[in-house]
Structure 1
């Protein structure tokens, strides 16, 4: 297999992501479980949902529509007519790989 190269890009959450994140933390039951030192399947599921939310709000849009735990009433935070159908997560690594091929990482340290 070829060498796997990963690039992590950190950026601030959008206002929509911030509000969804705060609302989730107020509603989610696993927050209570974590404070009590318990770990459950729902705790791991919550972590996965928050990771998706931080990557792109469209990834949790269906959870908001279905009002899953932590996302009850969150649909009203999305702009009118919002559609998660435009997001194509399968392409996320494709463009990065093409960019990396054109702009290889430097081997010498930056000063």
Structure 2
């Protein structure tokens, strides 16, 4: 077993990343945003989620790379009532403003 630098951690990937998500499909009025907030909090991911007037849901997620990826995997299915057609994932260098927790924002 290979240890680098003597520090050992189980997660294997502690890089913090920020991803922008645009979720399309039947994702409004089905508890999608609430469920996404819960999924994010369970994973220790910070950021926000909001509805868009075109019927999509937009989110920003910041956290350990593996946790953010896990949230993206969750987003591709969503809560039971949702039907997700597509999740567009974009890379964001740094959050525009510091985010504490995971919040729902106003529709844009």
The TM-score with structure 1 as length reference comes to 0.26
- Between structure 1 and structure 2, the one with the greater Rg is 1
Higher helix share: 1
Between 1 and 2, higher relative CO (CA 8 Å, sep ≥ 6) is seen in 2
Higher strand share: 2
